[in-house]
Amino acid sequence: MGTDPAGTAEVHPVQPTRKAEIMAFLTLAVLIWPVVAVGIVGGYGFLIWMLQVVLGPPGPPR
């Protein structure tokens, strides 16, 4: 198995490099957040549209 049968060896997590952090930031900033923003705005617009279909347009009744 290993040279440490008691399992007392320290575990060192992998440290991300600066390049990996920049690539993760660019992926979030350029790809993911714009898609999320368009989805939220589009979903809100669709919700308002469907409410107006069911309840009628806003404004005083005729």
Higher local confidence (pLDDT), 4 or 40: 40
Mean pLDDT confidence for 5-18: 76
The answer to whether position 43 is within a domain reads yes
The answer to whether position 49 is within a domain reads yes
pLDDT of residue 52: 94
The answer to whether position 53 is within a domain reads yes
Domain region containing 23: 19-57
Per the listing, tokens 């939220």 go with 40
Q: Is 2:8 a contact under the CB 8 Å cutoff?
A: no
The answer to whether position 9 is within a domain reads no
The answer to whether position 62 is within a domain reads no
| Confidence category of residue 27, pLDDT binned at 50, 70, 90 | very high
Q: Is 52:58 a contact under the CB 8 Å cutoff?
A: yes
Split into its structural domains, the chain has a count of: 1
Is 0.75 topped by the overall pTM? no
| Separation between Cα atoms, residue 41 and residue 18, nearest integer Å | 33
The answer to whether position 24 is within a domain reads yes
Q: Which residues of 34-59 are buried (b: 16+ CB within 10 A; e: fewer)?
A: eeeeeeeeeeeeeeeeeeeeeeeeee
Given a cut of 60, is residue 62 above it in pLDDT? Answer: yes
Given a cut of 70, is residue 5 above it in pLDDT? Answer: no
